[in-house]
Amino acid sequence: MLTVVSDTHSTDSHRLSGRTLQAVREADVVAHAGDFMRESVLEDFEREASRLLGVTGNNDDVAIRSRLPEARNFTFGGVTFAMTHTRPGGPTALSLFGRQRGADVVLFGHSHRPTYEPTEAVALVNPGSHAQPRGHRAAHAEFERRSDGAVEGRLVTVDGEVFESFVVERRTGCGGE
């Protein structure tokens, strides 16, 4: 399983709880789409996750910026993911970012609003914020491999309610980490 979180906005802990904490602990890979805020929070995630892939957010400190890239690609279940915290220009810019990076899915954060938006070129997924939802549901995203080369995705609340499910098929031939 791939678990995706974002926008922790903490100065003292990972602030994981409920299904989100369980999903991070069970995941083969955890992706964090930025805004840990402090290096100690990044280190808390590293202790909970078997493999953590992160990117920097606009609120991350210098120590995090020295350890993580602004964007990265990786593959999971044969599907290519491109991850960034945000791109000025909204969905159009995120879709272009994904196309430029040869991705099937773009993971992003920043708005704290859990979102799945299929576009012609790529699927856009924002896991929301598990810790500071700012008027939205506290949430994360989970992806499971399928035998046909696609991945099943879902947006899940901290309490474990699945409120959106979707399938993403491999569209490109590019890979990553």
Would the CA dihedral through 100, 101, 104, 106 be positive or negative? negative
Residue-range domain boundaries for the chain: 2-168
For 12-22, write each residue's pLDDT tens digit.
Answer: 999 999 999 99
- pLDDT for position 171: 80
Q: What is the pLDDT of residues 89-141, one digit of tens each?
A: 999 999 999 999 999 999 999 999 999 999 999 999 999 999 999 999 999 99
Phi, psi of 63, deg, nearest 5: -65, -40
Supply the pTM of this predicted model: 0.95
Fold annotation for 2-168 = Purple Acid Phosphatase; chain A, domain 2 (3.60.21)
CA distance between the termini of the chain? 16
